Structure 1
């Protein structure tokens, strides 16, 4: 009987601990937002940390997906992102960037106006519906691959909106890849529109930066096909005396790398918010 009571007590104690942990876990909202510029409803994921209901406005990290993925990619493939929202007490917003938007306002396709959507419409919607710090000091943006390009592209062009930006395995120079990932559908063929491709690639936007105007973190794996363009971006930032963090480590263009990388990205954003 005593052993039975002890086991029952232990089970009840374990159950209470698990319930307490569940109560403190981040929650995931899937929301419908509306883009006026594209005249359509677009889904997004919003991860709220356990402390969200405390009433204090929180900083927001916009976390962008890659080519061929969608708004649910991060939360379904990297469960630890929810834990990191709790750990750093931040809101994480995962927008849908379309299968191949590259987060541009396409000059040839009115159905792909994702620069306006993410940097203006979505930010405004999130600020209206959640308790956020409504200032660039409380906003950061990062992403993987197409989303890494998108995060830097949007942040550099909208420094009044975002105070920090990151990129994981980002396609930070599109020019070596004229036939890949539907970019020609968004910009027109490189052979016919070379000036447009020059203007829409991250590495050619560095003249818009001044030292410390953005907190920047760029990382890429040695085995990644985007490694050389990321290394070149790092060197160009150095040449212009633009402070930034650059990390290169073993890894390829895959979820094993991004699952590890996003932890450092979110830590970097947390440190920026804490300054």
Structure 2
């Protein structure tokens, strides 16, 4: 995307459902009851999108310090999805990238949060992510509302947020992916896990032992040079011990875009789009 197109996209940030030059993308602004403020969405629609049909939806979450627009544009997920759909390798699907700030997708109070984007403090980000966003999407696009038609995944912080949401609410999602997920017991004692009770509600390594995960399909991957490799590998081991449906993938690379190559994104979309 050229600099001029990128600037034009940014200037449309507050316009609800404003289409970009590529007709497969839409920008929207929704009001979150959980956060009591407006939040942005960036949405990919499959080729030949038909409002009379119902499509499975992937809620794909950005990393810390990133945003929903950069996630979709830099990774070109829509272009890759177009190619896979045209080749018959995945089913047509909707991809929704919601604004997550630096919240880790958690319900946070004013004394229990990371510094968020745009000067925001705490807030019920998990309620926004799990309840408000799907409800709004299902009202405004031809999105499936059943469990089998709803998936969630993300990169880094977004991968962590996706895993926590799906592990806590497995009845809402058929598939979840943690791609270089920010799974780190080192957060203990800090803002993320200030107390044992908060860690029990937020740590994927503990939530992975829930007996309710039986019907959930899980994808985990992390580069071998990523500082988060050991904890992601450990999470895969816990899930395997619990006999969960988990796929674990790794390869050369660290915690950067050189690891999240087109080849890996193709693998991700094939997992979600089956």
**What is the aligned counterpart of 1:84 among 80, 97, 100?**
80
Partners of 1:45 and 1:94 within 8 A in 2: yes
Cα RMSD for the two superposed structures: 2.0
Q: Does 1:166 align with 2:177?
A: yes
1:1-275 equivalences in 2 (<5 Å): 27-53=24-50, 55-79=52-76, 81-86=77-82, 87=85, 88=90, 89-98=92-101, 100-107=102-109, 108=111, 111-172=122-183, 174-178=184-188, 184=191, 187=192, 190=194, 193-210=195-212, 212-260=214-262, 261-271=264-274
Counterpart of 2:72 in 1: which secondary structure? helix
Greater helix proportion? 1
CA distance in 2, matches of 1:74, 1:58: 22
Counterpart of 2:250 in 1: which secondary structure? strand
Structure 1 pair 243–75 and aligned structure 2 pair: CA distance change class (3 A): closer
- Deviation of 1:209 after TM superposition, in Å, equals 4.0
CA distance in 2, matches of 1:26, 1:213: 35
- Deviation of 1:73 after TM superposition, in Å, equals 2.0
Gaps of 5+ in 1: 1-24
Structure 1 pair 117–211 and aligned structure 2 pair: CA distance change class (3 A): closer
Structure 1 pair 232–26 and aligned structure 2 pair: CA distance change class (3 A): farther
Q: Which has the larger radius of gyration?
A: 1
Partners of 2:41 and 2:99 within 8 A in 1: yes
Residues 53-103 of structure 1: CA deviation (Å, up to 9, x unaligned): 263211000110001111112222112x112332231100000101x2010
CA distance in 2, matches of 1:158, 1:26: 33
Residues 151-188 of structure 1: CA deviation (Å, up to 9, x unaligned): 1110111122111000100012x322458xxx61xx47
- Deviation of 1:33 after TM superposition, in Å, equals 0.8
Partners of 1:141 and 1:164 within 8 A in 2: yes
Give the count of matched residue pairs.
236
